[in-house]
Structure formats: C-alpha cells, structure tokens
Amino acid sequence: MDTANIIFILIAIGAIALFAKNLKTINRNINLGKDVDISDNKSERWKKMLMIAIGQSKMVKKPISGFLHIIVYVGFIIINIEVLEILTDGIFGTHRFFASFLGPLYDVLIFSFEWLAFLVLVACVIFLIRRNMLSIRRFGLKEMMGWPKTDANIILVVEVLLMGAFLTMNASDYLLQGLNANHYIVAGSYPISANLIAPLMDGMSISSLVAIERATWWFHIIGIFAFLNYLPYSKHFHIMLAFPNVFYSKLNPKGQFTNMESVKKEVEMMFDPAADPYAAPAEPVGEPERFGVKDVTDLSWKSLMDAYSCTECGRCSEQCPANITGKLLSPRKIMMDTRDRLEEVGKNIDKHGKDYSDGKSLLGDYISEEELWACTTCNACVEACPVSIDPLSIIVEMRRSLIMEDSKAPSELTGMLSNIENNGAPWQFATADRLNWRDEK
Amino acid sequence: MSEQSMNVNTMAEMMAKGETADVLFWVGCAGSFDDRAKKITRAFVKILNHVGVNFAVLGTEESCTGDPAKRAGNEFLFQMQAMGNIQVLNAYEVKKIVTTCPHCFNTLKNEYPSLGGDYNVMHHSQFLQELINDGRLTIEGGAFKGKKITFHDPCYLGRANDVYEAPRSLIEKLDAELVEMKRCKSKGLCCGAGGAQMFKEAEPGNKEINVERTEEALETKSDIVAVGCPFCMTMMTDGVKNKNKEEDVLVYDLSELIAQANDL
C-alpha cells in the first residue's frame, strides 16, 4: 500500500462520515414533524414505489424530459457499479480489478458504461440548454430565481464534468493498453472514448497519458465524493428520498382529506345526548394540541419528507390553475418554503438547543395567506408530482390554522361559513325552501 | 323539454307510507337553491321517474355536507355538518346514495365513513351508466346526433376519485362526437370553483380560471360543453358568456343531455 492508497482511504472515510452526519441531521429534521402511522398496505405501497419511483411512470408523462431523465437515472444507477471498482482499485492499488474475475463480461460492462456516460452527458447538456436558453415557464417562475437556479445548474455541470472525466480516463487507459504500458492490463471495450476522445490524445507519451489517466481518475472519484456531500444541501437529494417518499404517499382517493381526530372527540361530545353539558372538562393530557399548521413542526413527518424529496421540477406549478392565471400560489414554492424553514429550525436547534424559538413561522414568514386562499384544492399539483409529493395537504393544514386558530378568512368565506352554520347551506337560503325545486318549472 | 309533473318523495313521506327507497338522491345545496342547478336536479329526477327508480330525497332534512367548510379549513363546522347528516341518513337506514354534485359525492363517499356514515355513494354519471348497463335506460341520442360535445372533468370526480369513463360513455351513447380538450382526464384543468373558491372572489392574478378553461373548451369547436358538477356549470356558463359565445356554445349537465335526448 503506498501513499496514494492511504490518501484515498482517508478521503473516502471522511466523505462517507460527513455524508452520514448530514443524513442524520436530515433524519432528525424530518422527525421534528408530527407522528403519523403509515404502516398499512405494505404490498400496495411497494407496488406504487415500483411503478412511480423505480419505474418512473409519472416522469414519462412529459415525454422529452421524461426520456432524458430516464437516461440520467439509469446511467446513475449502472455507473455506480463502476464506482465500486474505482473504490476497490483506490483502496488496494489494483487497476481495473473487476476485469480479473469478470472475463468477457467486463467488456460488456465497460461497453455499457461508456454508452451510458455519453448519453448522460448529452442529456445533461440538453437539460442545461432547456434551463438556460429556452424559455420554459416552469423553470422561470419567481421562486426559482437565485440559489435554486444556481443549484440546478451546478448539478448539471458537475454531472457533465464527471462523465467527461470518466470518458477521458477511459480514453487514456485505452491508449495506454495499446502501448503495453506497465500496470495497464488490456481489458474493457471503449466504443465512445476510443473513437471520440482518444484521437485527441494520439501520439502522446506514456507518461503524459498516465498523468491524464490518473488525474481524471482522481477527479472523477473525488468529484463523486464531493457531489455526495453536496446532495444534502441541494434539491438533488431527491435521488435518495424519491423512493421512500413514494412508498409512504397517500393511497386513499386524492379527494379524501383527513378527519381531524381532536375535533372529532369534541363534536362527538356535542352529539352525545348522555353528555353532561355542565361537567368539568376533562384534564387535558400534555400540551393542548393546536388546530392546523403554523410552523413546520406542526406538519406530519411525511409532509417534511415531501419537502426534502422535492427536486423543484415545477410540474406541479405548471398544472396549478391558480399559478397559470397569475395568482401568487405556486405549489412548488410551498414545498421549497417548507424545506427552507425546516432547515432554519434545524439549525436553530443545533445552535441554541431544542426549545429555542426564533419567533418566526412557516405561515406568515414564508407562506402568505394570499397564496393559501388562491388554492382550488383541485389536486392537479398532487397528480403531477413524479415523486408523489402532496402540497395540497400543507395548504389545507394552514387554512385550518388560519380559520380555527386565528379566525382569519376572506370575508366572503366567513359569510359562507356562517350560512352553513345557520341554515345548512353555503348561501343565505332557508332550509324550509330546500324542496321548492320539486314544484317549480 | 316537455314539462310533466315529477314524482318525488321525501324519505319522511316514504316512511309515513311504510315504504322504503332503494336509493337516496342527495340533491345538494346548489341543486336545491341555485336556479341553474335546479334544472339539473329536475332533469335527473325526470330520468329517475322515466326509468322507474324507487328513490327518495331528504328534502328539508338535508343539510350541506360540509365540503366547502372542510376545504376552507373549518374542520369543526365540517364535522358538525357531517355528524348531523349521518344521524339523519342512519335513521333512515340509507344504504345507497346518488348525487349530481361531485363535491357532495366525494365528501359522502370518502370523508363520512370514519365519522360513522358508511354508504354506497355514486355520482349520477356512474348511476346512469349502471342503469344503461342493466338495460333499464336506453338513450335515443337523436337530438345530439353528430354534435360535437366536449366534457369538462370535475376535479372532485376525476382526479379526486378517478372517475373518468362513466361521463364519457354517456356522451358516446348520445351518438355525439366526443372531443377532448388539451387538458383532460387526470390533467383536466379546474373550473376555478373548488376548495370554497366558489364563494369568494379569486385572489389577484392576471386571468380568471374559468376564462382560461372556457377558452380551452372553445378551442375544441364543440357545440356543447358537458359538465358533471353544478359549480363547474356556473363557472363554464359564466366563461362562455364572458367570451360572448352563449349563442353558439351551450353548457349542459350530463343528466340534461340524457333527459333531452329522451324527450323527457
């Protein structure tokens, strides 16, 4: 084992440890949400995950971006096999270790990596063009200005660089194999790099080629470690959470909103003829529960997982009738705000301990009433999301807080609600007139 | 439409006669009070009478399902309404409910069971399709033969409950040409009324949602925009008027189309 292997091992351990620490923080943050039990219908959940997350069934509803995404997704998964080899080589100082026992299968493997790397590279370049040169509405909405746009571009540029380094590494290796260079065993099939990149390096000396091969090898693997640790700060974290997020998503009909248990108990009391209206109220157990959601910690852990799973593609906002017609509401912004606020709350806990309050809240400081009241609860955003995020449940929970905690609603809604309360209809008609249609013409 | 007297009993009247109804027609607030929606109610009843369905309504014992309260965030009022209605429905031992309003449909079907109200709930498009499948209802189609009809999916029927085919199969039975809008079925665009928006002004924006949707419906060059929801009816009718197309394009509920086709 020489110095290079030791340096490699230290970098690998450091990168993985840092990533594990970040994962722990995200897991802690998600668990700041309210506990809900989602352990039912396991087989249906696996099926849904297989279809939507693994099978990308919703991605392809948009054929162009769906197809390109599948290339990047499959590329990412398959090329990870190559990362395993790189790790082995890095630790033990071997070279193309897998070739020693895979035989002809190794050629097939490298052949497919080459093609996938090339296709991923092309797909990412097209994605960059779509984001930066074409005017696609969902990429240009207000909430994408600044960091979110930079984040998207960083991810794509890094992927282009990683794939470029991988192919350049293969090209120099291919040439070194041809020159019978020491240590470079003849292995692998290089349909892309041998034809597209190797000609550019034709005639280089063995030492130059080795330098290029080593440099791109290190760049590729250090790039992967760096990217791994970029994920927790990026929308790209969806590559981790898309799968569990679909698994835990709502199986009930989309129109079915939760019935609040805390309210149910009170209403049942009112309907119970045996209940004693003068009885002393039962001693509340623990802290009184607030109605609806004001801050991220009032949301369920599933809504918080939703926020970390969002990759800001904007398919939700593109389908949102309110957003299309120029209202302030953008379901994507609801998710981005939820994550931003959750990370802020998490940082506060890290810095000041778990009981610290900064006096801010998701509702009010991040999401405005105007946004919430623009929603038609049409479920278009929920339907559109490729990873089964439910922005609507957050919107409705916040409306509950506005109405039941703060008594804040647009005045027409207050009127509608008191009509229901007084005469059992959202309009001011008398119950006695309900059957008038029978005798009218 | 020829006007004949309708045969409508309330659950209370049936009970007084010692009879029971096979199905409860949940009329809904719009269907009871809104002038345009009342026509939908009457059209549907004419079909029920024509087929001879043994049904009843709750009449003055019906009260808002609580849908707009729930969507607006007033869970307390919703559950008050729900439990009140459930008491009435359970007292009459109601098993099967049909409604012309997808909002009532969704609430009764999905949100009442865990509050103690478990019924077989159908939207009228499903109920009518069932009548056709059972051979109890045949559609002549005459009046609409060759007409272009586009169907606007109500959110609370389509996306919310995955019912897309029943309304379409009814339109096809009319011998009409069903033309789809660009955004249809699971991608259907809301009319703008859901989530209690029906009862308030829209938030500030650059366009009304119903105008956006109406423009899409008009692009199909259909003669008729078919709807399956009283709120969609209001929004689409207003949209067509906004575009000054009320002379050329008619907005009808599915039950009105069938009642007209059968000269009821």
Residue B205, chain A, CB below 8 Å: the answer is yes
Nearest to B80 among A267, A400, A434 (CB): A267
ipTM score above 0.85: yes
The residue ranges of every structural domain in chain B are: 11-131, 139-261
Q: Which of A329, A330, A434 to mutate to test the interface with B (most CBs of B within 10 A)?
A: A434
**Predicted confidence band at B2 (pLDDT cuts at 50, 70, 90)?**
very low
Task: Please give the Cα distance from A250 to A107 (Å, whole number).
Answer: 44
CATH fold of A291-408 reads Fumarate Reductase Iron-sulfur Protein; Chain B, domain 2 (1.10.1060)
Asked if A434 contacts B59 with a C-beta cutoff of 8 angstroms, the reply is yes
* Mean pLDDT value of segment A260-279: 83
Give the minimum alpha-carbon distance from B76 to chain A in angstroms, rounded to a whole number. 6
Chain B nearest-CA residue for A435: B59
B140 pLDDT band (50/70/90 cuts)? confident
Q: From CA B257, how far away is CA B188, in angstroms rounded?
A: 21
As to burial, measured by CB atoms within 10 angstroms (0-12 exposed, 13-18 middle, 19+ buried), residue A323 is buried
Burial (CB count within 10 angstroms: exposed 0-12, middle 13-18, buried 19+), residue A131? middle
Q: Which residues of A touch B81 (CB under 8 A)?
A: 420, 424
Average pLDDT over residues B237-249: 96
The pLDDT value given to residue A275: 73
Contacts B32 to A, Cβ<8 Å: 425, 429, 433-437
Determine whether the interchain pair A435/B59 forms a contact, defined as Cβ–Cβ distance below 8 Å: yes
The angle at the Cα of B41, spanning B35 to B43, to the nearest 5 degrees, equals 110
What's phi and psi for A245, nearest 5 deg? -65, -40
Average pLDDT for residues A191-205, to the nearest whole number?
92
Domain range summary for chain A, segments of one domain joined by +: 3-30+62-237, 291-408
pLDDT tens digit sequence for B11-32: 999 999 999 999 999 999 999 9
pLDDT in tens, A211-245: 999 999 999 999 999 999 999 999 999 999 999 99
Side chain identity, residue B76:
F
Tell if the CB–CB gap between B203 and A260 is shorter than 8 Å.
no
* Contacts across the A-B interface (CB distance below 8 Å): 216
- Residue among B72, B193, B208 whose CB faces A409 most closely: B72
Percent of chain A with pLDDT over 90: 81
Give me the CATH code for the B11-131 domain, please. Answer: 3.40.50
Residue type, B57: V
CA A235 to chain centre: 6
Largest Cα span, chain B: 58
CA distance B24 to B27: 9
Taking only residues 367 to 406 of chain A, the set having a beta carbon closer than 8 angstroms to any beta carbon of chain B reads: 370, 373-380, 382-383, 396, 398-404
DSSP 3-state percent helix, strand, coil across chain A (nearest 5) = 70, 0, 30
pLDDT at residue B4 tops 80: no
Q: pLDDT (tens digit, 9 = 90+) per residue, A297-349?
A: 999 999 999 999 999 999 999 999 999 999 999 999 999 999 999 999 999 99
Interface probe with A: pick from B81, B86, B159, B191, most Cβ of A within 10 Å? B159
- Structure tokens given for A158: 């890094």
pLDDT score at A2: 82
3-state secondary structure of B190: coil
What are the pLDDT digits (tens) for A377-419?
999 999 999 999 999 999 999 999 999 999 999 999 999 999 9
- Asked whether residue A42 carries a pLDDT value surpassing 80, the answer given is yes
Q: What is the pLDDT of residue A82?
A: 87
CB A308, CB A302: distance < 8 Å: no
Mean pLDDT computed over A39-68: 94
Within an 8 Å CB–CB cutoff, is residue A261 touching chain B? no
Using the 8-state DSSP alphabet, how is residue A290 labeled?
A: P
Question: How far, in Å, CA of A250 to CA of A256, rounded?
Answer: 10
**Do the Cβ atoms of A322 and B205 come within 8 Å?**
yes
**Stretch B39-54: mean pLDDT, rounded?**
96
Q: Enter the CATH code of domain B139-261.
A: 3.40.50
Interface of A with B in 214-253 (CB under 8 A): 252-253
- So what's the pLDDT on residue A285? 59
**Is B87 within 8 Å of A271 when comparing Cβ atoms?**
yes
| Strand-pair partners of B227 | B253
Q: Which residue has the higher pLDDT, A183 or A113?
A: A113
